């Protein structure tokens, strides 16, 4: 799960990490009111879940109150990569001398948390890693030891932290590590961590992503979820208990199992078609879930063909058939449905579907090919 | 011979009275797996599926001489259940549960490594050595005892490919679903190390997907360390970046973990990659693996 910058900074503040003075606003008047409590210059920052806000014009510095009003007016309502800006963060602009990067991730290869530090802050770390890997320091954190002081010192010397900022830097790194672990983050980064003209250290931007599997023990994080930042159909699907990711093609795919769902999309593409979505109805899918999956897939107006690919191991084919019949009754479905249904209780399922206009095929390749042909009409 | 589980496996089911545990427990017994006990805290002394229930894994192990465990308990208790099984020294611990927090799984991973035990999963279908033993939820009827080892990050996609292997007559030595999470107990290389020494296994099918760089590391490792024929399948060529495709571990992050990179790495290591699941058997035959 992702959260906004201002929410990530709230977590940093709770952990004692210095951040610029500021607050959020959802209207121009409110923005001006917030700005009155701050000293100029002020940064006006759009709060959306996508990167590249600065380039899109979603981050602007105001030197006067008139500029605060103008920037807030321009940024609120702005469309950044499909996300509408509903909130702006207003902060006192830092006196930037240097911009650094610090972050923690779980490294899948070493199965341990890793501290990443870079002197090239303010840009995407992936870009730095690809172009100037010598500017990046990685410190693997032993899970049983936690982040050690010598590792923090190594980072500080690597980043050439001035003496005046050493204490705050050390505290910040430890605090970020504690936040990373205690909040079950998959990513916690401060970018840029700014060294000011006076030699102080301050977190000017922050990003935190969380392990979805751990949200159950963090109701405080679940409360920060902003559904408006997500694809509406994906939100509906999550609530219905199915895994759905929207794509742009015409063939709506409904599959059991994530791996098979991806493979089905790939095979559709292989035969020259375009999948409209990824959808996994899950292991223990019941009729209602199948009906709901069909409703979600067909709410996408670009979909003109449905492809079911079910390899019933645990999922019972008769339940899938029941779900399809139920959906046909409840939703007025007039799209062609290609169905590949094999495995547990397939005979019962086929009997149930006899006499319907469903196109039943034996293999995944045959079914995908047929769906591709039908989608070309 | 097969690997990890066989006719000598004596299995404990943690969570034997739950919906999943009891359904799949019965399926495993019907397949011929020797289930010797269940563990459900608070239900010790009772019985389920014809075997005794114990309060703790330690008691169950002492009383029955179990040497493997399978875990069906809800995700929030599953990591602790795995640590309990490792503490009892069961040797092989299979976690079926989906949704274990990554940091919890990290503890299980390192505990297993430091005690020299095998963990399979989580978020996996388990494993099966056809004709000998099934641990988990794989449908036994599609498997056939044979010569191909299968290692997969997926569930139903594995069944799809195993079905082709069985029908072709090649059959399988052991099929392992290693799991779809970012951190799993055993990775491809761990399984390959065992397949290398297994006489029954003449070739291996690797079924990978987007996310992480395990397929790339495995390709490198195979070049130097594995001589038996290997073919692959990678799911997710059409997956968009930054989106989690069902499995917690299936995500292209920061441009890394794409299907294209994985296919290139495998191909460079002389591991042909099928474009469709129905091409896997043909690729094995080209490598000289015949029924």
What ipTM does this complex have? 0.94
Q: Mean pLDDT in chain A?
A: 93
The pLDDT, as a whole number, for residue A289 is 87
Mutate to test the interface with B, among A108, A278, A315, A369 (most CBs of B within 10 A): A108
> How many alpha carbons fall within 13 Å on the CB side of residue A57?
11
Mean pLDDT to the nearest integer, A252-271:
96
The percentage of residues in chain B with a pLDDT greater than 90, rounded to a whole number, is: 93
Give the residue among B146, B230, B170 at the shortest CA–CA distance from B196: B230
Instruction: Mention every residue, 6+ apart, whose C-beta is less than 8 A from residue A260.
Output: A309, A311, B154, B155, B156, B157, B160, B235
Instruction: Tell me how far CA of residue A60 lies from CA of A41, A96, A194, B250, in angstroms.
Output: 10, 15, 17, 36
Q: Are strands B126-129 and B118-120 parallel, antiparallel or unpaired?
A: unpaired
pLDDT score at B255? 81
Number of CB atoms found within 10 A of residue A224's CB: 18
Question: What's the confidence (pLDDT) of residue A365?
Answer: 96
pLDDT confidence bin for B162, thresholds 50/70/90: very high
Cβ separation B110–A245 shorter than 8 A: no
Catalytic residues of A: 101, 189
Question: According to the model, what pLDDT value does residue A304 have?
Answer: 96
User: Is the predicted pLDDT of residue A313 greater than 80, yes or no?
Assistant: no
Cβ contact, residue pair A111, B110, below 8 Å:
yes
Instruction: Among A34-48, A88-102, A234-248, B121-135, name the one with the lowest average pLDDT.
Output: A234-248
* B contacts of A258 (beta carbons < 8 Å): 154-155, 180, 209, 245-247, 250
Closest by CA position to A121, among listed A195, A51, A48, A171: A195
The 3-state DSSP class for residue A21 equals coil
CB-based contact B156 A106, cutoff 8 Å = no
Cβ–Cβ contact A314 with B under 8 A: yes
| Smallest Cα distance from A171 to chain B, Å | 23
- Residue B150 or A232, more confident: B150
| Strand, helix or coil for residue A114 | strand
Contact by Cβ (8 Å): B151, B189: no
What domains are defined for chain A? Answer: 21-92 (3.30.1490.20), 96-222 (3.30.470.20), 231-372 (3.40.50.261)
Q: Is the dihedral of CA A43, A48, A52, A55 positive or negative?
A: negative
Q: What confidence tier does A48 reach under pLDDT thresholds 50, 70, 90?
A: very high
Mean pLDDT of B223-250: 94
List phi, psi (to 5°) of A17: -85, 130
Confidence at A284, pLDDT banded by 50, 70, 90:
low
Q: Is the dihedral of CA B230, B235, B237, B243 positive or negative?
A: negative
Structure tokens at B36: 């010797």
Q: Is the pLDDT assigned to residue A75 strictly greater than 90? A: yes
DSSP category for residue A244: E
Contact across the interface for A106 and B182, Cβ inside 8 Å = yes
pLDDT band at B5 (very low <50, low <70, confident <90, very high): very high
Nearest to B209 among A125, A256, A262 (CB): A262
Residue spans of beta strands (DSSP E) within chain A: 22-25, 42-46, 59-62, 79-80, 83-84, 88-92, 96-107, 112-118, 136-140, 185-196, 201-203, 206-210, 243-246, 251-255, 277-280, 305-312, 337-343, 359-361
Look over chain B and give the mean of its residue pLDDT values, rounded to a whole number: 96
For A190-199, A239-248, A285-294, B210-219, which range has the lowest pLDDT when averaged over its residues? A285-294
Per-residue model confidence (pLDDT) at position A132: 86
Burial class (CB in 10 A: 0-12, 13-18, 19+), A292: buried
Task: State how far the Cα of B185 lies from the Cα of B126, in Å rounded to an integer.
Answer: 12
Residue B38 and residue B53 in contact, taking contact as beta carbons nearer than 8 Å: yes
Q: Find the mean pLDDT for residues B67-86.
A: 97
Judged by CB atoms within 8 Å, which residues 253-272 of A form the interface with B?
255-263, 265-270
Q: Which whole number is the average pLDDT over B135-144? A: 94
Q: CA nearest A339: which of A319, A320, A315?
A: A320
pLDDT for A168-200, tens place per residue? 999 999 999 999 999 999 999 999 999 999 999
Confidence bin at B211 (pLDDT 50/70/90) = very high
Task: Write down the pLDDT at residue A283.
Answer: 66
Please state, in angstroms and rounded to a whole number, the distance separating the CA atoms of residues B246 and A330.
27
- Residue B90's pLDDT is 96
Residues making up chain B, counted from first to last:
291
- What is chain A's length? 377
Average pLDDT over residues A284-293: 83
Q: What is the mean pLDDT of residues B47-53?
A: 97
Whether B106 contacts A105, CB under 8 Å: no
Give the whole-angstrom CA distance, residue A214 versus residue A177: 17
Would you list the DSSP string of A346-364?
A: HHHHHHHHTTSS-EEESSH
Q: Which of B137, B152, B237 sits opposite A314 (nearest CB)?
A: B137
């Amino acid at each position: 799960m992702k959260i906004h910058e201002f929410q990530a900074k709230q977590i940093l503040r709770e952990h004692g990490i210095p951040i610029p003075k500021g607050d959020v606003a959802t209207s121009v008047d409110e923005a001006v009111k917030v700005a009155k409590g701050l000293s100029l210059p002020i940064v006006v920052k759009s709060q959306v879940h996508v990167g590249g806000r600065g380039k899109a014009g979603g981050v602007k510095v105001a030197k006067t109150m008139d500029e605060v009003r103008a920037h807030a007016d321009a940024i609120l309502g702005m469309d950044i990569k499909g996300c509408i800006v509903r909130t702006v963060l207003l902060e006192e602009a830092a006196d930037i001398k240097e911009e650094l990067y610090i972050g923690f991730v779980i490294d899948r290869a070493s199965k341990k948390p890793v501290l990443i530090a870079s002197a090239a802050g303010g840009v995407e770390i992936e870009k730095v890693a690809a172009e100037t890997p010598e500017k990046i320091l990685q410190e693997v954190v032993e899970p049983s030891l936690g982040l050690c002081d010598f590792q923090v010192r190594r980072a500080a010397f690597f980043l050439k932290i001035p003496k005046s900022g050493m204490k705050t830097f050390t505290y910040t790194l430890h605090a970020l590590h504690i936040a990373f672990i205690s909040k079950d983050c998959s990513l916690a980064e401060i970018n840029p961590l700014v060294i000011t003209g006076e030699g102080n250290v301050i977190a000017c931007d922050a990003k935190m992503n969380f392990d979805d599997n751990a949200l159950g023990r963090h109701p405080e994080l679940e409360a920060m979820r902003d559904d408006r930042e997500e694809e509406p159909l994906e939100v509906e699907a999550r609530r219905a208990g199915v895994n759905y990711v929207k794509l742009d093609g015409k063939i709506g795919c409904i599959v059991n199992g994530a791996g098979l769902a991806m493979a089905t999309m790939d095979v559709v593409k292989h035969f020259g078609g375009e999948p409209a979505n990824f959808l996994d109805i899950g292991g223990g899918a019941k009729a209602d879930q199948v009906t709901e999956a069909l409703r979600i897939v067909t709410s996408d107006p670009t979909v003109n063909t449905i492809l079911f690919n079910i390899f019933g191991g645990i999922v019972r084919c008769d339940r899938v058939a029941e779900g399809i019949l139920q959906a046909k009754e409840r939703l007025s479905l007039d799209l062609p449905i290609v169905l590949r249904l094999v495995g547990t209780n397939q005979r019962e399922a086929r009997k149930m579907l006899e006499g319907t206009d469903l196109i039943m095929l034996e293999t995944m390749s045959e079914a995908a090919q047929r769906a591709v042909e039908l989608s070309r009409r | 011979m097969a690997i990890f589980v066989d006719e000598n496996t004596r299995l404990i089911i943690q969570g034997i009275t739950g919906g999943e545990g009891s359904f799949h427990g019965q399926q495993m017994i019907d397949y011929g797996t020797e289930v010797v006990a269940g563990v459900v805290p608070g239900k010790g002394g009772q019985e389920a599926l014809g075997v005794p229930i114990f309060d703790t894994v330690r008691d169950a192990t002492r009383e029955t001489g179990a040497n493997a465990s399978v875990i069906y308990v809800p995700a929030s208790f599953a990591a602790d259940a795995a640590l309990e099984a490792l503490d009892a020294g069961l040797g092989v611990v299979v976690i079926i549960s989906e949704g274990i927090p990554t940091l919890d799984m990290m503890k299980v991973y390192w505990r297993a490594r430091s005690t020299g035990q095998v963990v399979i999963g989580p978020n996996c279908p388990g494993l099966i050595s056809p004709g000998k033993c099934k641990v988990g939820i794989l449908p036994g009827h599609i498997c056939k005892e044979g010569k191909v080892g299968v290692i997969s990050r997926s569930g139903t996609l594995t069944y799809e490919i195993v079905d082709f292997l069985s029908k072709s007559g090649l059959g399988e030595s052991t099929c392992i679903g290693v799991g779809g999470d970012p951190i799993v107990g055993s990775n491809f290389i761990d399984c390959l190390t065992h397949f290398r020494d297994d006489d029954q296994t003449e070739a291996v099918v690797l079924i990978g997907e987007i996310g992480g760089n395990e397929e790339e590391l495995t390709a490198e490792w195979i070049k130097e360390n594995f001589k038996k024929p290997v073919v692959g399948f990678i799911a997710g060529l059409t997956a968009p970046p930054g989106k989690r495709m069902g499995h917690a571990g299936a995500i292209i992050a920061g441009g890394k973990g794409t299907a294209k990179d994985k296919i290139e790495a495998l191909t460079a290591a002389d591991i042909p990659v099928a474009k469709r699941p129905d091409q896997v058997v043909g690729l094995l035959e080209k490598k000289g693996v015949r029924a």
